[in-house]
C-alpha cells in the first residue's frame, strides 16, 4: 500500500528498475468503506428475514462470548465453558470442552481447534462456532460418533484484542495489542503466530514494527501462553490440533524450517484427505486446497502454533488457511455459510482419521512414521 503522494515516485522506481507490477486495488480506504456498507446492508437484510446466528456472521467479541455462555448453559450435560485467562487488554479468553461425558474421558482422543490468532482473518471464528453448532445444537445422526468417540476443545477467539481493534479501528490488523515490549516501544503488539517457543526468532520473522515480529521472548503474549497451557494440560491426549487462519486454501504442517516431522507421511495423508473432502464441495471461485510442509510450499516460519503443537508431541498439528475467493481477508459475509459447510466436512474427515490413529497409537507411536506391523 502506498500513500497517494508516493504513488508517482514508487511507480517510477519500479519502471526504472524493470520490476513487473500491477494494480490490485486502486483505493484501499474506499474499498474498505464500501465493504463496511455492504456488510451493514447484508446484516440488516438477514436480520429482517429471520434470526441472525453468530456463526453466519462476523460477530463481535461480546456476541461470541454470549454464544459460548448460552451453549454451555443449554447443554451442560456435554459442554463445559472454561475461562482460560485474559488477553493483554483483559478480555477473558474462553473455550468450550465438548464431551459426551461431563469430564474428559482418558480413553478418548482430543481434537483441539482454535481460530483468530490473527485479528484480520475474520472468517475463522464463524468456522469454529459452526463446528460447535454441528457438534452440539445440530448434531446429526451420521455425526454422533464424532461426539461419542472424541472430546473437543474449541477456542474461537485467540486474539480478542486484535480482533476488536480490527472492527473498531483498522480492518487489516494482524497482531496482538500488547504495549511495552523491551524491543518494541513504538509499535503495538506482536505476531502471535511467531511467539511460540519453537525455533523462536530464527526464520520468517520481522522487525518490531512488522507484521511478523515474534515478540521479545517466547510466550510474551498471554494469548499464546493460553494455547501452550491447554496443550500441556492435556498432554498425550490431544491427537489433532487445527490452528485456523485465512486465506488461500492451504493445509500446512511442520516444520517451518523445512525439516519434516518423523510422521510426515501420515500428517500428509490426513491433510490430503481433508483437502479432498473440502474440494469436493468447493465454489468455482476458490482454489483447490494445497497440502504440504508449510516451509516447502508456502514460506519459512519459526515460533508458530503449528510447529509448537507438533514439537510438544501432538501427532497431527496443522495450519488451515480457509478460502479467500480473491477477497483476501475481507471475505464477504455471503460466503460464510458455504465455508462453514465445506470446512465442517473436512474437519469431520480429520476427526475420524485422528480417531483411527489414536486407537492404533501403539503401532503409530507418537512422532514415529513407521508402524511395526507394516514393516514387512
Ligand atoms: Zn493467519
The pLDDT tens digits of the residues spanning 258-271 come to 999 999 999 999 99
Task: Compute the distance from residue 338 Cα to the ligand 1 centre, in Å.
Answer: 20
Distance 76 CA to ligand 1 centre (A): 32
What is the band of 182 on the pLDDT scale with cuts at 50, 70, 90? low
Contact 71, 55 (CB under 8 A): no
Q: Enumerate the domain spans of the chain.
A: 43-368
Fill in the DSSP letter of residue 289: P
C-alpha 90 – ligand 1 centre gap (Å): 22
Joined together, the cell numbers standing for residue 373 give 506391523
**361 C-alpha to ligand 1 centroid (Å):** 31
- Provide the residues around ligand 1 (an ion) whose CB is within 5 A: 118, 245
Rounded Cα distance, 340 and 325, in Å: 14
Least confident of 23-27, 60-64, 171-175, 285-289: 23-27
Separation between Cα atoms, residue 350 and residue 241, nearest integer Å: 10
Exposed / middle / buried, residue 365 (Cβ in 10 Å: 0-12, 13-18, 19+): middle
Does 283 have pLDDT greater than 60?
Answer: yes
User: Which residues pair with residue 321 across a beta bridge?
Assistant: 245, 250
Q: Specify the CATH architecture of the domain 43-368.
A: 3-Layer(aba) Sandwich (3.40)
Residue 106 CA to ligand 1 centre (angstroms) = 32
Q: What is the pTM of this model?
A: 0.92
Q: Is pLDDT at 290 greater than 60 in this prediction?
A: yes
Q: How far apart are CA 152 and CA 327, in angstroms?
A: 31
Question: Which residues does the annotation mark as catalytic?
Answer: 321
Judged against a pLDDT cut of 80, whether residue 211 lies above it is answered with: yes
The pLDDT of 112-141, averaged and rounded, is 98
Strand, coil or helix: what is 74?
A: helix
Which three cell numbers, joined as nine digits, stand for 367?
A: 512422532
Q: Supply the mean pLDDT for the chain.
A: 92
Amino acid at each position: 500500500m502506498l500513500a497517494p503522494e508516493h504513488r508517482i515516485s514508487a511507480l517510477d522506481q519500479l519502471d526504472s528498475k524493470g520490476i513487473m507490477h500491477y494494480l490490485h486495488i486502486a483505493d484501499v480506504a474506499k474499498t474498505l468503506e464500501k465493504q463496511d456498507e455492504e456488510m451493514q446492508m447484508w446484516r440488516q437484510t438477514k436480520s429482517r428475514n429471520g434470526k441472525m446466528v453468530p456463526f453466519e456472521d462476523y460477530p463481535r467479541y461480546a456476541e461470541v462470548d454470549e454464544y459460548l455462555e448460552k451453549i454451555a448453559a443449554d447443554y451442560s450435560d456435554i459442554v463445559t465453558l472454561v475461562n482460560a485467562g485474559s488477553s493483554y487488554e483483559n478480555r477473558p479468553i474462553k473455550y468450550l470442552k465438548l464431551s459426551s461425558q461431563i469430564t474428559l474421558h482418558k480413553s478418548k482422543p482430543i481434537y483441539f481447534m482454535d481460530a483468530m490468532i490473527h485479528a484480520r482473518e475474520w472468517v475463522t471464528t464463524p468456522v469454529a462456532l459452526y463446528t460447535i453448532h454441528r457438534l452440539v445444537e445440530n448434531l446429526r445422526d451420521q455425526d454422533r460418533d464424532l461426539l461419542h468417540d472424541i472430546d473437543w476443545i474449541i477456542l474461537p477467539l485467540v486474539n480478542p484484542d486484535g480482533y476488536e481493534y480490527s472492527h473498531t479501528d483498522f480492518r487489516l490488523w494482524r497482531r496482538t495489542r500488547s504495549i511495552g515490549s523491551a524491543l518494541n516501544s513504538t509499535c503495538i503488539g506482536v505476531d502471535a503466530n511467531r511467539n511460540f517457543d519453537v525455533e523462536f526468532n530464527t526464520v520468517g520473522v520481522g522487525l518490531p514494527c512488522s507484521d511478523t515480529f515474534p515478540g521479545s521472548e517466547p510466550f510474551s503474549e498471554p494469548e499464546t501462553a493460553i494455547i501452550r497451557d491447554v496443550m500441556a494440560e492435556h498432554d498425550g491426549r490431544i491427537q489433532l490440533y487445527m490452528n485456523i487462519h485465512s486465506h488461500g486454501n492451504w493445509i500446512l504442517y511442520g516444520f517451518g524450517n523445512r525439516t519434516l516431522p518423523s510422521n510426515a507421511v501420515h500428517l500428509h495423508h490426513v491433510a490430503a484427505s481433508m483437502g479432498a473432502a473440502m474440494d469436493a464441495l468447493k465454489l468455482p471461485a476458490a482454489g483447490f486446497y494445497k497440502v504440504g510442509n508449510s516451509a516447502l510450499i508456502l514460506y519459512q516460519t519459526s515460533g508458530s502454533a503449528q510447529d509448537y503443537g507438533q514439537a510438544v508431541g501432538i501427532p497431527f498439528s496443522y495450519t488451515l488457511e480457509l478460502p479467500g475467493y480473491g477477497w483476501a481477508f475481507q471475505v464477504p459475509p455471503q460466503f460464510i455459510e458455504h465455508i462453514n459447510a465445506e470446512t465442517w466436512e473436512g474437519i469431520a474427515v480429520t476427526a475420524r482419521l485422528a480417531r483411527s490413529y489414536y486407537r492404533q497409537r501403539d503401532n503409530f507411536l507418537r512422532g514415529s512414521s513407521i508402524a511395526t506391523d507394516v514393516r514387512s
